[in-house]
Structure 1
């Protein structure tokens, strides 16, 4: 008795497939071979790439050989996820093929500008930071690592090969308005290495340099766990304003742009909730890099901001004598928030008054209301306004309380006759 085989079994893949190929490989380069098994005797298995292999790869339907049919660039796309079908005329199955594009050193570093210009005071000490040069390389791994060198007359300035920070190596003495021209080179770590050059102009000055100062000396920000890369954390301002702010702390998860916007360059999982991160920030005028103001900014990773602040009293009645001196304390408003950590941290502000020269202010952290302008009973007897309490969560929540301040009259006006003379 002969049993005739029927095609009643589908092909089977033994595993998921992965392959690697270098970018810039020639058309026709072999990538990998796809294979499967079919226990039916007479079945003929053929292969097919779904989505036509994105027009970049093809598969031989009988051998399963995958080859390159188009130019590939790792900087455009570093990995391709393909689906492969195996068919025996009746049955078909699918598997995945992941192709990783390996980097070649085909991109030279590019300086952020062709000409850098910095100023330094002539009495700066050796080691003072003068400025920073920066170049980027689109390649990955060692091919994308950039190193710096600097050539200057008399070697007055040197550059840190990794950070690009330029520092003073020889005292300037009495040089004033003297211009030093240097050539900077950025070279990558590839084999063979590629490089780029830029001009660095450094001027020695004798005048005192004005340094911008951060308006908020102790900024505290909340970062919601799970927020995506690029999330804005907060805004920093300086007086006078400057477009040159930077993160000094060696933590590449954060970046600050020319507008003072502090944002993330990484994701922060929920496992980091409650963690505080301290960043050292600096601000300077771009060409006066060495003269900078520095502060510490604290970032707390938080969970959801569930509760708004609540005032102990929704309506607060206070009084103040007229002619009170500046900074006289009038009273206090108080609010609390049930959230833990920074989500429960409450700040206060006068909410939307339209009185012009408003004579009262509230301390942002304590809720103390105090005098900041002239108070005159004869001009205004009662001030009615709102104070807002906001938490520091993401997004922040707010509550308001009404404040009534009665101005208490003082005997500060002498009697006046309606007429200078009276006839009886």
Structure 2
């Protein structure tokens, strides 16, 4: 059949109009909560496992042509999804982190081979309780005076949890609350000294308080979890002047010997401020008991004897030493006293001495008849013995050295001084025909 030129032109226009009538494909919009369609208002929990099928793109072509699906991302962003172009199944291929990336922007497209329709979508990443509370501005170190009132606020800790909802709320607790002097406000994180509790620098110069920050809990990978973190608050206690001076090395005893030179040191009293953190200067003084025989160095505490031992009138001196703290301002502060006992000690440096009627004498003579009565006292001898030492050093024994058993000396033990008596023990041995001269030595060995 041959067409006229006008008929052929009309048929060509018809074919052109039919070719231009191929309409573009489109996505289905299935609304909020749907897992297939055009990802409108789609959200995804951040703890979704990698490899999960999370969504299916779904659309149609008006002419019924087959369609393919695609998803792409900005070159500067992560490609967190992959897609099956034939079925539109979207798979998570990168871990999500809401705290780092709360929204994901992507471009989804559908194509029938001739037409391509692209849409920009935003996927909301929802929170899971995957963050641990973190303390900020650590380390926590605070200095507190030891006289701070009970119940006072000391320090405030602060922890943050990047999660939302209950997982992002933080409360505070103390570990070992029964053994601590401190209390914690659970909501504000304020650390306080507990009621009816005091600090004491002399007992503890530092306290280490362990604080726990705990979140409110939440879901993570299908389970309810609670996260916590700990930190240490170091509380240094500052010393204040609340303690009297303390003497070291008590009790104090000193000795002055008879050969001690005036001005010699007898002993040293040592005291220190009971407040060890910021000690005051210490001054020493004698209150009483010295009778002018002793003095003390006000800065060193050294006690000196000021008189010759021969001038000292007592064998024992009971002194009382006072120490006075001097504050940083120079004014006297707290005082304390301590007793000091000083004994005057005799040296055993004087041997016993025999005395006759006219003074010291080392030879005594007597004429007597032979065979005197046994037990008779030799009255012609007037002998005194003396040891000028003092105390136990003045105790000694007497004995006769010569022909044995003829005479006996009384007393045999002497303390300081005694009259010496010689008594006949063996009358028969005193025989003129045998002995015209008897010689004896009287010895005084120390006890």
Q: TM-score per shorter chain, which class?
A: 0.3 to 0.5
Report the structure number with the largest CA radius of gyration.
2
TM-score by length of 2: 0.41
